[in-house]
A and B are shown apart, each in its own frame.
Chain A
Amino acid sequence: MPADTEVPPIVEMRGITIRFPGVLALDNVDFTLRPGEVHSLMGENGAGKSTLIKALTGVYAIDSGTIAVAGERRTFHTAADAQEAGISTVYQEVNLCANLTVGENVMLGHEPRRGGGIDWRATQKEAARHMESLGLAIDPRSMLSSHSIAIQQLVAIIRAMVLEAKVLILDEPTSSLDRGEVEQLFEVIRDLRSKGVAILFVSHFLDQVYEISDRITVLRNGTLVGEHLIEELPRDALVTKMIGRELEDLATLEKSSHRAIDRSGTPVVRAEGLGKRGVLEPADLEVYEGEVVGIAGLLGSGRTELVRLLYGADRPDAGQVEVQGAHAKVHSPRHAIDQRISFSSENRRAEGVVADLTVAENIVLGMQARQGWVRKVPKKDQDAVVAEYIEALGVRPANPQALVGNLSGGNQQKVLLARWLATAPQLLILDEPTRGIDVGAKADIQKKVSELSSQGLSVIFISSELEEVLRLAQRVAVMRDRRKIGELDSTQVDLDGLIDYIANAGEGSAA
């Protein structure tokens, strides 16, 4: 039953603002949680969901705003403070100790004592009683590590209940569970809700949010978009609120999406049933010569996971990859590079540019890796290549000796792009190449992608900006909930149609 608005809230956050160096992580956000409701916090990565949760649980200090729990103003300094006040969190990765028993994990720090020592018999009994009350019938004396992640997650929730939590925060609890396990978890959540526990639920899975929630609060870029009852917010409205619309003057850019692609021959790369348990359900993907295939979907929908499996950065446990029609073993990025597949990661700082090297060194890195480290690329060739790409992509400053760490995000991205292009790939995978960069750099990169693909380069283009995907890609693969739900011809669909597809398609068949 959805909670009554009349019930006094258990948590009231008002005007929460948190600043990190150079970033306004939360800007004057309000959030209200009522007893006996499941309240989903929605927004894309970077929208401020985690920051809001961490503000509530005392991990981050707030710069301004107030937090009241059960009508009383509180300031939490540590996770332990928040626990005292009845706010417990179950994190995405199970935060228990795998080396201890189930019962011990439930009771750790709260074991009954007798005569100066822990009374183990009473501890196990107490643990069993708590487990029983949530219907978990496993041996409390078995090791936690002998159970599945799903069971471990339930144990974490039971532990929260031992602390008599009035507020239970579930941060991406279902990301590594299969469907049956999610059902078990939801059963427990409904049970807790009926006992009056307020549950804050965060998940990337839209289906699950709609299945379990009573209310939704949407954040975008650190600001509050709104709070809605679930029945008043259809899926497409939610997705539109989460993504927002960017008004940009990119519309004038050259489009490559209308170019006809010859799909009669052998695809450059074909993935068949590529998947990994708990990461991605098996998916197919084909890319033909000169084609730009877009991958659309919310963050966390499996976009990056799909290309990482294709590239060999993660090892698939199902499916196979063919390059130019021949079966190819792509088990590591090394193999992918040998097959002339290049991958530019969305995480350009951690997995991309080397900040302490110069522009020239960063660009040459990819070529050199392809050659093998022993055969040095001649200096003259290096200089020629570097000059060519600095010119072609408009890297600013146009100084090959500048340290990459001092460049803006957009220019770092261009350097990264140059590095992969210098390896002369036949397939270039770009994961969020334009995130967080200015409009000018964005336009440069889009133009280059369009130009190169018309010369025969195949590209897989992942972006959260759907306009961009529709402009560049001839075909768009749509992902949701770690599954490829379909493929669209981008000449046949407009932005609203794509949003609608991301939000609703395949609804009937997905149980």
Chain B
Amino acid sequence: MTAMATRIQERASGPSFLQTFLSRHGGMMPTFAAVGILLLLFVGAEIFLRGDFITPRNISALLLDNAYLLVLAVGMTFVILTGGIDLSVGSVMAFSGILGAKLLADGVPAVVAVPAMLLGGAAIGLMIGILVQYFDVQPFIASLAGLFLGRGLAYVVSLSSIKVEESSLLWLQSTRIRLGDWYITPTGLIALGTVAIAAFVLHLTRFGRTVYAIGGSEQSARLMGLKVARAKVGVYVISGLCGGLAGLVLTAYSGAGYPRNGIGTELDAIAAVVIGGTILTGGRGYVIGSMIGVFVYGTIKTIISFMGAEQSWMQIIVGALLLLFIVVQRAIVARSEGRR
């Protein structure tokens, strides 16, 4: 190592704590904003409902009622981080659910039926990933094909609802692990476990870092010698797998498979991811943020049903929040580009 005459430094004086924090964690701002909004909703509802909202029962239910959406949002986060989009997940969830219900009804044991549900989802994801990576199809179009395919397959399996009698699957929802007034079911644990595994993969593996790099600049990632093709196909497989898993969670939750489940749910998942601070152009965002996004979404839904208002208000509020967050994201992206 040569000692050099000049050291290249940008600032002569030491940066302040705030400057250091912003230069390191500026990308977390939208996620903090989502946390802020969640707290605001909690406090607002608590005041409005005179202390009847923040109860262990409500908070526990918030996780359980939205467990399937949380699983979908985790998969969606991977895809959006690469700058892609996956419109198929609602259909994949329905297909996986009805497939599982049908297999179980036909007497197939759960140890076969459950892997089949997950693999079914992953296979559709793989197809989308291959279309995107090797056939250069827009993610929007490729996953739209996946949406129709998944929905069609769900109708092929059954046109009507199939009740699930299999005890091991129902156990996932009926078991309540209690801690005082708080409780959680295995489906809730599956959802939280998915978040934890996803966070590990995204932040502590080279695959995860490649996902972020692709979102930053796919061309750069390729020139850096990263395994871009593998990661790009991988995110769709993960999203499909999450779709399959969400099918399992939803089937356990509702006790039946139904081919019309999850129509439009892909859009709810995208909304939750965006509200949680992941930027649609890719490269910035956290899976924890997506979890917050799902909670924001679920809380709004709960508040509206508590108030006895029309559910259409739900969509108006989510729409307004989305608009707000996309504008905030634009501002953040514009700011970081302006600095260059």
Contact = CB atoms under 8 A, between A and B. Distances in A.
Contact of B340 (A95, A116, A149): A149
A146 interface: yes
Interface string A136-167: 11110111011111011010000100000000
Given A139-B20, A146-B26, A146-B339, A97 B8 contact: no
A194 interface: yes
B20 A136 contact: no
Contacts of A97: 212-213, 216-217, 220-221, 283
A191 B224 contact: no
A487 interface: no
Contact of A98 (B10, B20, B336): B336
Contact of A147 (B2, B10, B213, B284): B10
Prevailing SS type, chain A contact patch: mixed
A135 B326 CA distance: 40
Contact of A145 (B10, B20, B200, B340): B340
B307 interface: no
B50 interface: no
Interface string B36-69: 0000000000000000000000000000000000
B206 A135 contact: no
Interface stretch (A100-108, A456-464, A501-509): A100-108
Interface in B7-44: 7-10, 15, 20, 23-24, 26-27
Interface string A101-124: 100100011010100111010000
A101 B24 contact: yes
Contacts of A137: 7-9
Interface string B276-287: 000000011000
Given A108-B226, A118-B204, A136 B8 contact: yes
Interface string A83-105: 10000010100011111110010
Interface string B208-252: 011011011101111111100000000000000000000000000
A135 B219 contact: no
B316 interface: no
Contact of B4 (A104, A120, A146, A191): A191
A195 B2 contact: yes
A143 B206 contact: no
Given A79-B225, A117-B205, A118-B205, A184 B6 contact: yes
A135 B226 CA distance: 26
A136 B7 CA distance: 6
A1 to B, nearest CB: 14
Contacts of A111: 206, 209
B82 to A, nearest CB: 12
Contacts of B223: 79, 89, 91, 95
Nearest to B213: A97
A159 B7 CA distance: 18
A196 to B, nearest CB: 12
Contacts of A108: 209-210, 213, 224, 226
Contacts of A101: 24
Interface in B279-334: 283-284
Interface residues of A, number: 46
A229 interface: no
B204 A95 contact: no
B179 to A, nearest CB: 29
B81 to A, nearest CB: 10
A178 interface: no
B65 to A, nearest CB: 32
B224 A109 contact: yes
Contacts of A118: 203-206, 209
Given A79-B225, A137-B7, A184-B8, A142 B206 contact: no
A136 B339 CA distance: 20
A23 B19 CA distance: 53
A101 B339 CA distance: 15
A187 interface: yes
A384 B339 CA distance: 53
A95 B2 contact: no
Contacts of A109: 206, 209-210, 224-226
B111 interface: no
A132 B3 CA distance: 9
Given A96-B220, A108-B224, A109-B224, A143 B26 contact: yes
Contacts of B7: 135-137
Q: Which of B7, B225, B339 has the most CB of A within 10 A?
A: B225
A442 B26 CA distance: 56
A145 B27 CA distance: 11
Contacts of B283: 97-100
A142 B222 CA distance: 23
Nearest to B81: A99
Contacts of A98: 216-217, 283, 336, 340
A133 interface: yes
Contacts of A493: none
Given A99-B212, A142-B24, A151 B2 contact: no
Contact of A95 (B10, B20, B200, B224): B224
B232 to A, nearest CB: 15
B10 to A, nearest CB: 6
Given A118-B205, A133-B1, A145-B339, A99 B27 contact: yes
Given A108-B226, A135-B4, A143-B23, A100 B213 contact: yes
Contacts of B213: 97, 100, 108
Contacts of A141: 24
Q: Which 5 A-B pairs have the closest CB atoms?
A: A97-B216, A117-B204, A99-B283, A99-B216, A135-B4
Given A100-B209, A138-B8, A191-B2, 4 more contacts: A97-B283, A98-B340, A108-B209, A117-B204
12 contacts: A97-B220, A117-B205, A120-B204, A133-B1, A136-B8, A137-B8, A138-B9, A139-B23, A143-B24, A149-B340, A152-B340, A191-B2
Interface of B: 1-2, 4-10, 15, 20, 23-24, 26-27, 200, 203-206, 209-210, 212-213, 215-217, 219-226, 283-284, 336-337, 339-340
